[in-house]
Amino acid sequence: MGLERQGAILSKQISSSATVTTAGKTGLLYGVNLQVATAESSVIIENGGAGGTEIVKLAIDASVGSSQFINSSRSIMFKEPVICTTDIYATIAGTGAVANVFYKEIES
């Protein structure tokens, strides 16, 4: 039996490092948005939990200028979803950062 896509694209908002899909469940990664309040921040999306294979990293640093830096965001959306065979995990660094991860969980 092949992989079947389940339902609509989901969005999960996280403010600390966390598993996005159910641990051990294959996921389709459609995109991610990082929002920062006042500090340099980043989000790394990994396949396979903390320390897994890095899929994408979004970062916002102070080099954009202090007036543009406050309350800024950065996004990436994939034309085709990225398959994360183990699970989708997000590692967040920075004070006050929030990431929204867009995904589907797949059942076999």
CATH 3.20.20.70 fits 4-107, yes or no: no
pLDDT per position as a tens digit, 32-51:
999 987 678 899 999 999 89
* Sheet strands side by side (includes 18-19): 18-19, 88-93, 41-47, 53-60
Residue 41 C-alpha from the chain's centroid = 13
Instruction: Choose among 64, 66, 67, 32: nearest CA to 46.
Output: 32
pLDDT at 2: 44
Statement: the pTM of the whole predicted model exceeds 0.75 = yes
User: How many C-alpha atoms does 25 have within 13 Å on its Cβ side?
Assistant: 17
Domain spans of the chain, in order of start? 4-107
pLDDT per position as a tens digit, 50-78:
899 999 999 887 665 555 666 788 999 99
